Structure 1
Amino acid sequence: MTGAAALLRQRLRRDGLQLVLWVGGVAALTFGTFAGVADTFGTEQERAALVAVALANPVILVFRGLPSGTGEGAFLIFLSLPFLVLLVALMSAFLAVRHTRGDEEVGRTELVGSTPAGRWAPFWATVAHGAIANVAAGAAAAAALIAAGQDAAGSALAGAAIAGAGTVFLGVGLLAAQLVRSARAANSISVGVIVGSFVVAGVGNAVGTPSDDLTRMESSWLAWLSPFAWAENTRPLSDDDPGPLLLSTAVAALLVGAAALVQARRDVGEGALAERAGRARAGRVLSSMPGLVWRLSAGSILAWAVGAAVVGALSATLGSLVAQVGTDNPQIAAILERLAAEGSIDQGVLVTFFVMVGVLAACFGVQTIMRARQEEVHGTAESTLATPVARAAWLRAFLSVAGAGILLVCAAAVGGACLALAITGGSSSLASDALVTGAGQAVAASVFVAAAALVFVIVPRATILLGWGIVVAAAALALFGTIFGLPTEVVAISPFAATPVPGPDDVDPNGLWWMLPSAAAGAAASLALMRRRELAAGG
């Protein structure tokens, strides 16, 4: 294990800045949520009113957490815990893939394996590295809660719940890296599992059982299939139940063990899942640069589109669930009547869910631009540009596929919503609302593609960090801006919050006037600058 210890020290130095940013983001989100709660929901009556509305409108629970009371600490956990777990889950999965399959792709793992450190040093160094990162993130969240004046024991349990869930997704990343031959595919699998777990926990909480006084929700059996729900059901700063942490620990150990078992039985550079043999001759599609990029991105487009279709279907069906909940509880029925007087509940549910569609589409678009950076780092871009393909045409192919993929992802969401409406007999007007909202989110996602392309051209080595960073920051602003007490004008800076919104009689174009020109100008500028840029092959 001496080799693993030396490798771990090297990786901690190498990833120092990234870990500081991830852990600092967890602490900032925790303390920022507290500040927003103190300003906006300073009294128990205000907190109780919001919890009652959340229990009456299950869509809120899909994008928040599990209500456990109206105390300040419990309310803070309700608003922030799922997103803290989401941050740590992404950090853990990316870390696992980067230091296993990623290093294997570029040859580092084989070099280390040829030394006295042996083949297993990188694997166990990654496990230790991920565990340290998760403990640091959990400790940062706990420290932020204590600094906010919350109970030390409950704060520590919240940190442990975050770290435990993150360790589960560390195991997911490790296992995904053993199954496929590329870091790109492993990251896609990991993100799919994370997003799926987030949605399963949210829907499982939404269909749970509310308390008679509308201050708590008991998760349904569905939620217990997700590590997000295990963290939430520890109910920090309320019941303080450490029991669900045993689930996180057991599943994390099982996943790490499975990953180790697969590694012991495969060759370096190979994956446990056999790849389909390619054709002897390339088809016509591969004779063009856009066709090549489309072929490289086809699997990702399918995965993101399937996820968007599921979200779209949920957006059109949970509205009826809201009404069903109201029939079982008179207090909820009264709240629903008040909400209905302010606007269509079904419409509000659909618009809220399509924010997630916009995030999924933006993730695909940014991922496609990152693929251009990976082609550059791995040297394949140089081979391509040695042909008559010009630099601008090469980048234009990635931009074109990113735009087409965004349209397909949003169209899949609209199709899922329309199919769900047809099956459930929902209002036909919601289909047009889904079309308007989906189109708006496609425009918002295009803004991120243009921004990522500019970063790729101007600061290529920061493409991955800034590419994901702007998506995460914009999503956090759209989802948490009002909780932080930020003005509506500030929240609207996020493209996800500036999309056209269908109303009872017309459509509010919102920020469409600036998003369309920004996306077009950013794409044009990146193409113009690419003509003069030299290749930057460094990692």
Structure 2
Amino acid sequence: MSRFWPLLSARWRRDVLQLTIWIAGAVLLAVSAVVGVRGAFPSETDRATLLATAVANPVVLLFRGLPSGTDEAAFAAFVILPFIALLAALMSTFLAVRHTRGDEDAGRAELIAATPAGRDIPLVATVTHGILANGVLGTLVTLVCLAVGFAGPGSGLMGLASALTGIAFLGLGLVAAQLAASARTANAIGVWAVLLSYLACGLGNALGTPSADLRRMTSAPLAWLSPFGWAENTRPYDSDAAGTLAPFAAAIVIALLLAFALSRARDLGDAFLPSRPGHATASAALSGPIGLVWREARGSLLGWTVGGAIVGVMSTRLASAISDVGDSIPSVQALLRSLASQGSLAQGAIEVFFTLAGVLAACAGIQTVLRARQDEVAGLAEPVRAAGVGPIRWVGAYLMVAVVAVLACLAAAAAGAAVGQLATDASQTDLILHAAVAAVGQAVAALTLVIGATIVVVIRPRLSLPAGWALVGIATVVGLFGPLFGFADTAVDVSPFASAPRLDGEAFDLRGGGWLLTVTVAGLAIALTAARRRELAPER
């Protein structure tokens, strides 16, 4: 055990900033949700109306929790539990890969394995580290819920469900780290597993059975295949069904046992999914840094683009259904218009969906820019720079591919919206134009965040990963969910996603497009100017 404690302490020291950001984000999200519910839905009638809307319109349940009644605390859990669990899952996946495959890529794992600590003790330290981090997150979420006056059993379930979701994906991240040949691939596997699991839960809720009063929903079997479904079916502050957490025990134990078994079955630095061997000769596209970055990023870019296309198809296919619901439930009109413009309800639905497409595009761009830091840490940037590639050209290559990623994702969303509208009603093409304008506006918003992440990569490279993802995370929460949380308009408009240009009825509304373009251009100048004097910083 004397070898275990130094390794655990080293992990806490390395992760103190990242964990603080993740955990503080989850706590602030919980506080914002409670404040927003009390401000925007103060009466039981208001909450019942929104729950009826969610139950009647399955699209809402794709991005929300499981309706469990009109009690204020239960309603707050419906609004926020999925997102706290999502933060815990992403935090844990990145943590698992960082201290396993990431250490192997950096050469640290080999040095530690050469000591009496061997192969198992570092993995035990990583598991303990992840469990403790999720324990802190769950405890603070519970304390916040208790502090605002919510019942003890439900508050405990809120924290426990969030923590167990994180620990389950900690195990999955550890397995991915054993399978993948690089930390980048392992992180990609983990993130896609989280997103697909979240989507499976949302679809399971959407396909479930509503109660007669439209205040509760019973999940379909699909939701039970997802850790998010297990967490949401605890129904905090309603039935407090702690028994639904039982699948977590089996999933966590199986994942951890599998991770240890795979670790022992492979050589250090090896992988069960090895990288494909390269060609004997490089193509002409790899003669410059842009081609190299494109080669690295094209797989993930394809995934983000497919996601954008799916969101685009959903935006127009479901806009008419949302409009029909809004005609009978006035509160839906107020809700969507608080999230979008003052145009028709169908236009408001498209704006909400394209805000989500903008989030995906920003993620695609930021992930591409952050590859510069990952390549730097892995030692891949040095031979590129040694080949006569200057710092501006080096940074610019990642930035140019990031711009392509943003534009491709939103172009796919616009094309998907056109396909969805033509398949629904080919005679009505006005929503296609609205979707195209929304895509352009969200491109401006996404590029603003990409430039912000680039500045961090250039000026403070060691903060690149946490700061880059924090930018898009904060902008998403404020821009997409700020109105539901009761944020002031001025606070919501700080988010580029909420300030993006759009159509307001039949008129074009520039909104915050002017300041977004100004910030983007100024940020680009700052990034390129700072890049001229930037030295490589390979240490983490």
Query: Do the two structures share a fold, i.e. TM-score over 0.5?
Result: yes
1:15 is paired with a residue of what secondary structure?
A: helix
Alignment map for 1:412-431 (pairs within 5 Å) = 412-425=412-425, 427-431=428-432
**Which amino acid counterpart does residue 178 of structure 1 have in structure 2?**
Q
Superposition RMSD on alpha carbons, in Å?
Answer: 2.3
Equivalent-residue separation in structure 2 for 1:256 and 1:338 (angstroms): 44
User: In 1, distance between residues paired with 2:453 and 2:430?
Assistant: 35
The aligned residue for residue 520 of structure 2 is 519
Code of the aligned partner of 2:444: V
Structure 1 distance, partners of 2:535, 2:5, is 38
Residues 1:343 and 1:528: Cα distance change in structure 2 (over 3 Å)? closer
Confirm or deny: 8 A CA contact 2:50 2:332 kept in the other structure. no
Find the partner of 1:334 among 306, 324, 328: 328
Q: What is the aligned partner in structure 2 of residue 530 from structure 1?
A: 531
Matched residues, number: 533
Q: Work out whether residues 73 and 150 of structure 1, in 8 Å CA contact, stay in contact via their aligned partners in 2.
A: yes
Structure-1 separation of matches of 2:273 and 2:425: 42
Partner of 1:164: 164
The alpha carbon displacement at 1:35 in A equals 2.0
SS of the aligned residue for 1:271 comes to: coil
CA distance, structure 2, for counterparts of residue 351 and residue 200 of structure 1: 24
Whether 1:54 and 2:30 are equivalent positions in the alignment is: no
CA distance 1:430–1:270, shift in 2 (3 Å)? farther
The amino acid that maps onto 2:125 is A
Task: Report the counterpart of residue 373 of structure 1 in structure 2.
Answer: 373
Is the 2:53–2:332 Cα contact (8 Å) retained in structure 1?
A: no
Counterparts in 2 of 1:513 and 1:421: CA distance versus 1, 3 Å: same
Match of 2:181 in 1: 181
2:269 aligned with 1:263, yes or no? no
Superimposed CA distance per residue, residues 186-209 of structure 1 (whole angstroms, 9 cap, x where no aligned partner): 111211121222223223323333
**Alpha-carbon separation, structure 1, partners of 2:40 and 2:344:** 25
Superimposed CA distance per residue, residues 141-179 of structure 1 (whole angstroms, 9 cap, x where no aligned partner): 111100111111111011111111111211221121112
Match for residue 490 of structure 2? 489
Superposition deviation, residue 2 in structure 1 = 5.0
In structure 2, the partner of 1:459 is 460
* Number of the residue aligned with 1:279: 279
Greater CA deviation, 421-430 or 482-491? 421-430
Could you tell me whether the CA contact under 8 Å between 1:56 and 1:336 is conserved in 2?
no
- 1:15–1:437 Cα change, 3 Å: same
* Segment drifting more, 383-392 vs 134-143: 383-392
Q: Structure 1's 338 and 517: CA in aligned 2 closer, same or farther, altered over 3 A? A: closer
Instruction: Give the whole-Å Cα distance in 1 for the aligned partners of 2:184 and 2:166.
Output: 20
1:232 equivalent in structure 2: 232
Query: Which position in structure 1 is the counterpart of 2:474?
Result: 473
Over residues 417-459 of structure 1, what are the superposed CA-to-partner deviations in whole Å (9 max), with x where a residue is unaligned? 3333444446433332222222222211100111111122222
Cα distance per residue 1:379-429 (max 9 Å; x no partner)? 332322223222111111111111011111112222333333444446433
Q: Name the counterpart of 2:34.
A: 34
For residues 223 and 436 of structure 2, the distance between their equivalents in structure 1, rounded to whole angstroms, comes to 30
- After superposition, residues 87-126 of structure 1 pair within 5 angstroms as 87-126=87-126
Taking a change above 3 Å as real, the CA distance of residues 78 and 529 of structure 1, as seen in their structure-2 partners, is same
Are the equivalent residues in 1 in contact too, given 2:322–2:349 (CA < 8 A)?
no
Show the counterpart of 1:204: 204
Q: Aligned pair 1:83/2:77, yes or no?
A: no
CA distance in structure 2 between the partners assigned to 1:481 and 1:531 by the alignment: 38
TM-score of the two chains, using structure 1 as the length reference: 0.93
Match of 1:313 in 2: 313
- After superposition, the C-alpha distances for 1:261-319 in whole angstroms (9 at most, x for unaligned) are 32222221122113221111111100112111111111121122222222223323334
The 3 A distance-change label for structure 1 pair 14 and 454 is closer
Name the residue aligned to 2:195.
Answer: 195
Work out whether residues 49 and 329 of structure 2, in 8 Å CA contact, stay in contact via their aligned partners in 1. Answer: no
Return the letter of the residue paired with 1:482.
Answer: P
CA deviations over 1:433-491 (Å, ceiling 9, x no partner) = 22222222221110011111112222222111211111111111113322332222220
Structure 1 residue 374 displacement after superposition: 2.0
Contact 1:2–1:117 (CA under 8 A) maintained in structure 2:
no
Distance 1:371 1:17 in 2: 20
**Partners of 1:227 and 1:265 in 2: CA distance:** 28
Q: Identify the residue that residue 390 of structure 1 maps to in structure 2.
A: 390
Percent identical pairs in the alignment equals 46
Cα deviation for residue 510 of structure 1 reads 2.3
Alpha-carbon spacing, 1:212–1:501, altered in 2? closer, same or farther (3 Å): farther
* TM-score with structure 2 setting the length: 0.93
Q: Distance between the aligned counterparts of 1:537 and 1:6, measured in 2?
A: 24
Flag structure 1 segments of 5+ consecutive residues without an equivalent.
327-331
Give, in angstroms, the shift of residue 238 of structure 1. 0.9
Secondary structure in 2 matching 1:70 = coil
Is contact 1:209-1:217 (8 Å) kept?
yes
What's the CA shift for 1:134?
Answer: 1.3
Indicate conservation of the 8 Å contact 2:358/2:410, yes or no.
Answer: yes
- Deviation, structure 1 residue 91: 0.6
Provide the secondary structure at the position in 1 that maps to 2:275: coil
Partners in 2 of 1:530 and 1:9 — Cα distance? Answer: 34
Alignment of 1:338-377 (within 5 A): 339=333, 344-377=344-377
Structure 1 residues 178 and 418: CA distance shift in structure 2, 3 A: farther
Provide the rounded CA distance (Å) in 2 between the counterparts of 1:250 and 1:351.
41
Following the alignment from structure 1 to structure 2, what is the Cα–Cα distance between the partners of residues 371 and 529? 18
Q: Residue by residue, what CA displacement relative to the aligned partner does 1:217-257 show, whole Å, maximum 9, x if unpaired?
A: 22223322322121111100111011221122222222222
Tell me if structure 1 keeps the 8 A contact 2:106–2:377. no
Counterpart Cα distance in 2 of 1:425 and 1:124: 57
Q: Which residue matches 1:138?
A: 138
Equivalent pair of 2:501/2:508 in contact (CA under 8 Å): yes
Note if contact 2:21-2:466 (Cα within 8 Å) is conserved in structure 1: no
Equivalent position SS for 2:242: coil
* 1:73-128 alpha-carbon deviations (Å, 9 max, x no partner): 00110111111011111110000010111011111111111111111112222112
The corresponding residue for 1:222 is 222
Distance 1:227 1:421, change over 3 A: farther
CA distance in 2, matches of 1:161, 1:337: 31
* Alpha-carbon distance between aligned partners in 1 of 2:56 and 2:343, rounded to the nearest angstrom: 15
Are residue 45 (structure 1) and residue 45 (structure 2) matched? yes
- 1:346-370 CA-partner distances (Å, limit 9, x unpaired): 4333321222221111112112221
Please give the alpha-carbon distance, in whole angstroms, between the structure 2 residues aligned to 1:69 and 1:4. Answer: 47
